[in-house]
Amino acid sequence: EIHQREYLSNGEMKQWEGAVHTVYSPVAVQTPDGYKRKVIGTYPVCTEKEAIESLDAAVAAYNHGRGQWPTMSVQDRIRCVEQFTHKMKEQKDIVVKLIMWEIGKSVADSVKEFDRTVEYIYATIDALKDLDRDSSRFEIEQGIVAQIRRSPLGVVLCMGPFNYPLNETFTTLIPALIMGNTLLFKPPKHGTLLHYPLLEAFKECFPKGVVNTIYGRGHAIVPALMQTGQINVLTLIGSSKVADELKKLHPKVNRLRAILGLDAKNAAIVTENADVSLAVSETVLGALSFNGQRCTALKIIFVHRSKVDQFLGQLSEAVSKLKIGMPWEKGVALTPLPEPQKPAYLKDLIDDAEAYGAAVINRGGGASFESFVYPAILYPVNQKMKVYREEQFGPVIPVVPFDDLEEPIQYLIESTHGQQVSIFSNDATETASLIDPLVNQVSRVNINCQCQRGPDTFPFTGRKDSAEGTLSVVDALRSFSIRSLVATKLNENNKQ
Ligand code: G3H
């Protein structure tokens, strides 16, 4: 068990004496009374007071840290991030174990998450070296020379999601940091302890006040931070509703920059010309990897009526072969869910779909303990059902039959989400005719493959309620900076 009692504020490890949050792993252990969720540790529940103190530290480090971070040379900032990454790699084993225990991710996927994060940091450093950062001086009018620079934005409030608590958090935290901003970092509720082994490295590698951490209940502390008006950038990978609520609290919301990765309801379209086996294998991966808890997961599948029987038969067979088990079990595909309220929510979605006439295929047997949810395929799904529009973020696959391709296109036009879509078709003319209408509704079209974020160096965004700003490597560096200008009037003392 890990009992964290420190938080990092103004360059110091502050000792926490107040209330703590007890972390129950979604991975249950067998006891004489049956399966019980295991306690794996505790962490501080900071109050507004600590949050505001840490914000003050970040503001001071931004405004007064002469030569310290925002005004440090890029090379020096890169060196600090490299040093941090080196120390982070030394903590790999413990961080991977904590990802597994805290959010129930399989060992293989936890290792992948860690490695992918390290690769992202190095890719960010490389991209920064090539970024259109500071131009050479050029004459803008007679007697005046100018230099265009890329400068930081100020104080960034950085919050990540539970499903990729390390990787997605760092895809905003690292570019924000390396561009010279100072940070207030709040890890997700399910996914806080796994950051603890990195806390010392943050303290050692960055000047005081540059990285400040806060923990606890977001709804109790984050509103107060927003209301100060001192947050220059809100970066959140999470729910659209929370992002909207937080933004509204900022006294000058129009001046706030928001870099957001939000809700999504990615659709697959299996046309009458699809290779059904391929569509099925990609749907299994797309809808059920990490139990469907990915913003990029396939969350609704439109299948041409002529292919429905074949598609459902193969999908049902493939899903029934998936292994459900503990994260460390070999070949495990589905693991326990970290959000305690999720199984009841998914059951409600399934009941609702059944009430409106959907059959539940592959309901599976009763779960051996509370955090397991067997994948359900729902068919035929229609617009009366909640699962038609709501983002299930879990192992439920709604299948909608269609006769005309205009039907799924219309779904995407009407959707409040706009992240990605997958098209399955072996007819090149058909796919070509779909790309333009679809790429104007979502930010990535995948042909004959599932939706996904990677490679992480690619632009990652969404339309409508699915995102604000663009991530990737270069895009993120741009998102967390501003192009500024230094203009110099030349005189006798200043000719160059
Ligand atoms: O939850 C959103 C993640 O960025 C998805 O990443 O598509 O690589 O699983 P992924």
pLDDT tens profile 85-95: 999 999 999 99
Q: How far apart are CA 60 and CA 360, in angstroms?
A: 57
Identify which of 58, 59, 77, 343 has the alpha carbon closest to the alpha carbon of residue 209. Answer: 58
State the distance from the centre of ligand 1 to the C-alpha of 486, rounded, in angstroms: 39
* Per-residue confidence (pLDDT) for residue 367, from 0 to 100: 56
Closest residue CA from atom 2 of ligand 1: 295
Q: Are 188 and 18 a contacting pair, CB within 8 Å? A: no
Exposed, middle or buried by CB within 10 Å (0-12, 13-18, 19+), for 343? middle
Is any atom of ligand 1 closer than 6 Å to the C-beta of 164? yes
The model's pLDDT over 4-21, given as tens digits with 9 standing for 90+, comes to 999 999 999 999 999 999
> Model's pTM, two decimal places?
0.95
Residue 316 above 90 pLDDT? yes
Residues 100-116: pLDDT tens digits? Answer: 999 999 999 999 999 99
Token digits of residue 265: 């309801």
pLDDT of residue 134: 80
pLDDT bucket at 460, cuts 50 / 70 / 90: very high
Distance, in Å, from the CA atom of 469 to the CA atom of 471, rounded to the nearest integer, reads 7
Testing ligand 1's pocket by substitution, the residue of 103, 105, 164 carrying the most ligand atoms inside 8 A of its CB is: 164
Q: Is 38 exposed, middle or buried (0-12, 13-18, 19+ CB in 10 A)?
A: middle
Q: Quick one: DSSP state of residue 355?
A: H
Residues 459, 456: Cα–Cα separation, whole Å: 8
Q: What is the ipTM of this complex?
A: 0.95
Nearest CA among 465, 475, 43 for reference residue 265 = 465
CA dist 231 and 55 (Å) reads: 8
By percentage, how much of the chain surpasses pLDDT 70? 98
296 within ligand 1 shell (Cβ under 6 A): yes
Shortest-distance atom of ligand 1 to CA 297: 7
- Does 116 sit in the ligand 1 pocket, CB within 6 Å? no
- Gap from CA of 453 to ligand 1 centroid (Å): 5
Q: Which atom of ligand 1 is the closest one to the Cα of 290?
A: 9
Best mutation site among 294, 392, 458, 461 for ligand 1, i.e. most ligand atoms within 8 A of its Cβ?
294
Q: How far is the CA of 169 from the centre of ligand 1 (A)?
A: 12
CA–centroid distance, 465 to ligand 1, in Å, is 17
pLDDT digits (tens, 9 = 90+) for 302-313: 999 999 999 999
Ligand 1 atom having least distance to the Cα of 293? 1
Is the pLDDT assigned to residue 366 strictly greater than 60? no
Cβ 109 under 6 angstroms from ligand 1 = no
The reply to whether ligand 1 has any atom less than 6 angstroms from the CB of 171 is no
- Residues 124, 477: contact at Cβ < 8 Å? yes
For every residue of 275-287, DSSP letters joined together read: -HHHHHHHHHHHH
The mean predicted confidence, pLDDT, of the chain is: 94
Contact 295 CB / ligand 1 (< 6 Å): yes
The pLDDT value given to residue 138: 86
Say what the pLDDT of residue 84 is: 98
Ligand 1 atom closest to residue 456's alpha carbon, by position in its atom list = 8
CA terminus-to-terminus distance, the chain: 62
The atom of ligand 1 lying closest to the CA of 289 is 9
Q: Looking at residues 326-336, what average pLDDT do you find?
A: 92
Residue 168 alpha carbon, nearest atom of ligand 1: 4
Cα of 63 vs centre of ligand 1, distance in Å, is: 35
* Nearest CA, atom 4, ligand 1: 453
Stretch 14-36: mean pLDDT, rounded? 88
Q: Is 373 in the pocket of ligand 1 (CB under 6 A)?
A: no
In the three-class reduction of DSSP (H, G, I as helix; E, B as strand; rest coil), residue 159 is classed as: strand
How many whole angstroms from 295 Cα to the centroid of ligand 1?
A: 6
